[in-house]
């Protein structure tokens, strides 16, 4: 067969099979599993990790000192939105930013660009290393805001957190605490990989240790928008279907009416998340698997609480490095896509489809809020050319939605494909011999 | 004719192999997945308005749909009309 020696090329960055495609519905498989060999079918049909609904989540908030005893050894209580004082066991919650700052209301009246204080532009001269004078003992303590927001004073064991909003992008407006516990995340990752073992890379299976999953707070911009989208193009309605010719030369022809179609829709979007780290926002599937982390969006950002560094103790974090203006093209692209999805139902009478040729976006107002969102990340580095590939398996720290990239053992996959292809070819030849 | 028919059948083997390869590859690597913001974002839309005007006919075509049909390809960008005022 033509594809016997070299594997088919990788899917292109744009076009079919890339994250630029509208993703298929969850759990859908392009080939009917019933037609596949039993071992493959079992993997495809095994249950996916279940995503839970956390919309009734509790609120929470915090100071860096326990309001009851004043201790600083404060942690986020796993599985809840509470903070707990490790000294006196006092537990308390924080204010939801949704109500506190009125995010989520008045989107329809938004005008211009509203930027929350934590989403302001990043100043070039602000270092990511910040040092504090410990109020307990006077020692200097350094926090590297690239990957952490709290540090313990090694002399008096006070915990210091970065609470004040500095212009290096490290302190967001709000944080959404982890809801899914580590054990739960490990179980979901295991379940996800168990569905994908047959053709997985041998080294990946041997080194698979989901206990090594880490909790990371990743930076996002949560955007509300008030926009209008106009599209114009041509649509066709079939008026007649007929055949010409006889026997083997019979061909089907169609007659259609052509219409000039224009549509306009005003809409608001609420809490659209955009990656505000340049690295995470790069969804080139040839060089990285960041689309995996993109897929587990969205989060229940309505439940986000006011920033408190104590939520991050025990977790790592990634600093925001993108400003509002840099993210605007991606926002506009997504808004146009949403608009096109909105008008689709209104052109259903065009049975032969519509070819949109022009589109126009008018952004009346946007509101930008910077947020840390919780993700459990398991990673595996596959060696290869150009530094290899880092494969992620990510679990949404709120809903438990799980997505991952499992490296494949190419020769196994090719053998299976060729075996099935040869089998089909055998049937084809058998039919040809039978009919000639 | 039968030759025509036979050649078409020969493609089944390679086509089946390629389809299975890509289906399994995507099942493992999930390269085609991304945030389905069109479906998963809270959108409040006003009623859609617009116009439809018949401009011609496309008769005797053998295609089953309009060329360049992109009604469901929301993420495929077409010519952008800039709105400098807004």
Q: Match 């970065």 to its residue by tokens.
A: A162
Domain presence at residue A230? yes
- Most confident of the ranges A44-48, A195-199, B82-86: A195-199
> In this structure, are residues A67 and A90 in contact, taking their beta carbons and an 8 Å threshold?
yes
Taking the Cβ of residue B86 and every Cβ of chain A, the question of whether any pair is shorter than 8 Å is answered with yes
pLDDT score recorded for residue A123? 66
- Kindly tell me if the per-residue pLDDT of A210 is higher than 80: yes
pLDDT score recorded for residue A260? 94
Position with higher pLDDT, A158 vs A368: A368
A200 CB neighbours in chain B (<8 A) are 28
Write the DSSP assignment of A359-427 as a string of letters. EEEEEEEEEEEEEEEEEEEEEEEEP-GGG-EEEEEEEETTT--EEE---B-HHHHHHHHHHHHHHHHHH
Taking the Cβ of residue B3 and every Cβ of chain A, the question of whether any pair is shorter than 8 Å is answered with no
- Kindly tell me if the per-residue pLDDT of A93 is higher than 90: no
pLDDT score recorded for residue A30? 74
Q: Which of A252, A360, A413 sits opposite B83 (nearest CB)?
A: A360
- Kindly tell me if the per-residue pLDDT of A236 is higher than 90: yes
> In this structure, are residues B48 and A228 in contact, taking their beta carbons and an 8 Å threshold?
no
pLDDT score recorded for residue A33? 77
Q: Work out the angle at residue A262's Cα, subtended by the Cα atoms of residues A256 and A263, and round it to the nearest 5 degrees.
A: 125
Helix A38-45 × helix B12-29 angle, to 10°: 40
**pLDDT > 90: what percent of chain A?**
36
Domain presence at residue A376? yes
Residues A359-368 have a mean pLDDT of 91
Domain presence at residue A423? no
Residue range A289-300, pLDDT digits in tens? 999 999 998 898
Residue range A392-419, pLDDT digits in tens? 999 999 889 999 999 999 999 999 999 9
A426 CB neighbours in chain B (<8 A) are 13
A253 CB neighbours in chain B (<8 A) are 60-62
User: How far is residue A142 from each of residues A146, A155, A267, A292, measured CA to CA in Å?
Assistant: 12, 13, 46, 33
Domain presence at residue A13? no
Residue A167 pLDDT class (50, 70, 90 cuts): low
CA distance to partner chain B, nearest, from residue A163 (Å): 30
A265 CB neighbours in chain B (<8 A) are 45-49
Residues A9-16 have a mean pLDDT of 55
B17 CB neighbours in chain A (<8 A) are 1, 3, 417-418, 420-422, 424
Sign (positive or negative) of CA dihedral A165, A167, A170, A174: positive
In chain A, the number of structural domains is 1
Q: What gap in Å lies between CA B15 and CA A423, rounded to an integer?
A: 12
pLDDT score recorded for residue A218? 92
Both tokens of residue A165? 């909003």
Residue range B27-75, pLDDT digits in tens? 999 998 999 898 888 899 999 999 999 999 999 899 999 999 999 899 9
The verdict on a CB contact (< 8 Å) between B58 and A44 is no
The verdict on a CB contact (< 8 Å) between A22 and B62 is no
Residues A340-344 have a mean pLDDT of 93
Window from A86-90, A91-95, A218-222, A242-246 with minimum mean pLDDT:
A91-95
The verdict on a CB contact (< 8 Å) between A264 and B48 is yes
A401 CB neighbours in chain B (<8 A) are none
Residue range A103-152, pLDDT digits in tens? 767 777 878 788 877 777 766 666 667 766 776 677 777 777 777 777 77
String of b and e for B54-74 (b: at least 16 CB within 10 Å)?
eeeebeebeeebbeebbbebb
C-alpha A341: how far from its chain's center?
19
Q: Which of B9, B60, B80 sits opposite A253 (nearest CB)?
A: B60
Q: Which of B40, B53, B75 sits opposite A260 (nearest CB)?
A: B53
| A-chain residue closest to B64, CA distance | A352
The verdict on a CB contact (< 8 Å) between B52 and A107 is no
Sign (positive or negative) of CA dihedral A313, A318, A323, A327: negative
Supply the range of the domain harboring residue A138.
33-405
B42 CB neighbours in chain A (<8 A) are 269-271
CA distance to partner chain A, nearest, from residue B80 (Å): 5
pLDDT score recorded for residue A127? 64
Residue A254 pLDDT class (50, 70, 90 cuts): very high
Sign (positive or negative) of CA dihedral A283, A288, A293, A295: positive
pLDDT score recorded for residue B27? 92
The verdict on a CB contact (< 8 Å) between A355 and B69 is yes
- Kindly tell me if the per-residue pLDDT of A62 is higher than 70: no
pLDDT score recorded for residue A96? 75
Position with higher pLDDT, A241 vs A149: A241
Q: Match 């495929």 to its residue by tokens.
A: B76
Residue A166 pLDDT class (50, 70, 90 cuts): low
ipTM for the complex shown: 0.87
Domain presence at residue A412? no
The two beta strands, A354-382 and A389-396, are antiparallel
Domain presence at residue A433? no
pLDDT score recorded for residue A16? 63
- Say if residue A91 is preceded by a cis peptide, omega within 30 of 0: no
Residue A13 pLDDT class (50, 70, 90 cuts): low
Looking at every residue in chain A, the average pLDDT score rounds to 81
Window from A94-98, A192-196, A206-210, A401-405 with minimum mean pLDDT:
A94-98
Domain presence at residue A131? yes
Domain presence at residue A398? yes
The verdict on a CB contact (< 8 Å) between A20 and B75 is yes
- Kindly tell me if the per-residue pLDDT of B2 is higher than 70: no
């Amino acid at each position: 067969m033509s594809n016997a020696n070299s594997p088919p090329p990788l899917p292109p960055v744009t076009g079919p099979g890339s994250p630029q495609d509208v993703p298929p519905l969850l759990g859908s498989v392009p080939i009917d599993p019933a037609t596949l060999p039993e071992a493959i079918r079992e993997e495809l049909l095994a249950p996916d990790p279940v995503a839970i609904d956390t919309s009734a989540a509790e609120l929470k908030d915090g100071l860096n000192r326990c309001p009851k005893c004043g201790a600083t050894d404060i942690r986020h209580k796993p599985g809840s939105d509470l903070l707990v004082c490790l000294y006196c066991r006092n537990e308390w919650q924080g204010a939801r930013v949704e109500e506190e700052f009125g995010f989520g209301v008045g989107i329809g009246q938004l005008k211009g660009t509203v930027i929350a204080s934590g989403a302001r532009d990043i100043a070039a001269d602000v270092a990511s290393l910040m040092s504090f004078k410990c109020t307990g003992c006077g020692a200097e303590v350094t926090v590297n805001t690239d990957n952490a927001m709290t540090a313990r004073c090694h002399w008096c064991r006070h915990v210091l957190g970065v609470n004040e909003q500095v212009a290096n992008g490290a302190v967001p407006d709000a944080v959404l605490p982890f809801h899914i516990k580590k054990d739960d995340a490990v179980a979901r990752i295991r379940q996800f990989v168990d569905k994908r073992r047959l053709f997985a890379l041998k080294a990946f299976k041997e080194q698979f240790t989901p206990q090594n999953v880490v909790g990371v707070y990743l930076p996002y911009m949560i955007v509300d928008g008030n926009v209008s989208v106009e599209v114009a193009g041509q649509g066709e309605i079939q008026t007649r279907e007929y055949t010409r010719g006889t026997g083997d030369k019979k061909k089907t022809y169609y007659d259609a009416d052509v219409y000039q179609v224009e549509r306009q829709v005003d809409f608001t979007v609420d809490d659209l998340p955009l990656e505000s780290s340049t690295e995470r926002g790069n969804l080139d599937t040839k060089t990285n698997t960041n689309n995996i982390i993109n897929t587990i969006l969205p989060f229940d950002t309505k439940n986000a609480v006011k920033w408190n560094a104590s939520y991050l103790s025990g977790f790592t974090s990634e600093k925001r490095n993108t400003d509002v203006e840099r993210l605007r093209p991606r926002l506009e692209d997504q808004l146009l896509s949403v608009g096109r999805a909105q008008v689709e139902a209104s052109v259903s009478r065009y049975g032969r489809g519509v070819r949109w040729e022009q589109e126009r976006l008018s952004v009346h107002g946007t509101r930008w809020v910077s947020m840390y969102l919780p993700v459990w990340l398991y990673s595996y580095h596959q060696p290869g050319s150009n530094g290899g590939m880092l494969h992620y398996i990510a679990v949404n720290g709120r809903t438990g939605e799980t997505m991952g990239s499992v490296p494949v053992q190419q020769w196994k996959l090719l053998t299976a494909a060729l075996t099935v292809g040869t089998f089909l070819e055998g049937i084809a030849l058998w039919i040809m011999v039978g009919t000639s | 004719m039968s030759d025509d028919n036979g050649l078409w059948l020969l493609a089944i083997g390679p086509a089946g192999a390629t389809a299975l390869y890509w289906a399994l590859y995507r099942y493992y690597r999930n390269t085609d997945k991304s945030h389905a913001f069109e479906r998963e974002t809270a959108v409040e839309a006003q009623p859609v308005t617009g116009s439809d005007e018949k401009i011609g006919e496309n008769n005797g075509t053998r295609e089953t749909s309009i060329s360049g049909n992109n009604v469901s390809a929301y993420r495929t960008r077409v010519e952008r009309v800039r709105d400098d005022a807004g």
